[in-house]
Structure 1
Amino acid sequence: MDERPVILVIEDDYAIQGIVEEALTEGGFAADILSSGEEALTLFRGGLKNYKALVTDVALKGRLNGWEIAAKIRETDPGFPVIYVSGAHADEWASRGVPNSIMLAKPFAPAQLVTAVSQLLNSAPPTTT
């Protein structure tokens, strides 16, 4: 059985999906990568997997953006680790991002993503199951 921490990723650019998946896999994580926030919320709320963190693009196709998805997940799990990635909205992070999150501006190095996920997971309080 795979014991790697599973990261929920929302990114609608297929080229970036590949970069993110490769970086997380090489960093010791498993990744579920989706293109829409609505799909991601359905999976998260379904509880079939024990996601350890969210990596989300801010500007997404669909009704919800990354800010809204992170806020909805935090309604369920107030301390859930969130890493935002954005090429155009990084300056909005201070006012729109959730507490205890990290913003990565595109383009970012794959190692920056792995470091951000690891940093948030290592600083997160243990969750009760």
Structure 2
Amino acid sequence: MRHAKSVLIVEDSYLLLEIIASLCEAQGIRVLEASTGEAALTLLRTRGMEIDWLLTDIHLPGLIDGWTVGEAFRAIRPGRPVVYSSTETALLRRSVPGGLFLRKPYQVREVDAVVKAVVQGLDAAPLQAAG
């Protein structure tokens, strides 16, 4: 039996967090939420193996940014999709193998398209046998 895909959304704007979470849930994705990098790292430590992909803002309150969250996620779940978001176009040029970028401000249809693309990619990936 296949489990529902899950995402960790790291976003300090409550409104954006709720919009993205709603779009993901509409696709049948379980959502974990964090509003700071520190909270995201805590979730990754405790539930990282449950998370299929990550969507993180790059600029977060506190000392931990989205790049660090992305690196921590990839250390736990190598090869899994990471979607970064930022208002700064210069950051979008940073090379992150397999990373996707959403430029803020984004429209709902852009986020919805990225969510659908990630889900389709996860569904197309071969399932690892539980050992």
What's the TM-score, normalizing by structure 1?
Answer: 0.82
* Distance in 2 between residues matched to 1:123 and 1:79, nearest whole Å: 14
Aligned residue in 2 for 1:99: 97
Matched ranges for 1:55-66 at <5 A: 55-66=55-66
Aligned with 2:80: secondary structure? coil
Q: Which consecutive unaligned segments of at least 5 residues does structure 1 have? A: none
* Distance in 2 between residues matched to 1:43 and 1:85, nearest whole Å: 19
How much does 1:128 deviate?
6.2
Q: Deviations over 1:78-115 (max 9, x none)?
A: 21210111222x432332x5210110112132422323
* Distance in 1 between residues matched to 2:75 and 2:9, nearest whole Å: 18
Q: Give the RMSD, CA atoms, in angstroms.
A: 2.4
How much does 1:40 deviate?
1.1
Q: Structure 1 stretches (4+) deviating beyond 3 angstroms?
A: 122-129
Whichever residue aligns with residue 17 of structure 2, its letter is Q
What's the TM-score, normalizing by structure 2?
Answer: 0.81
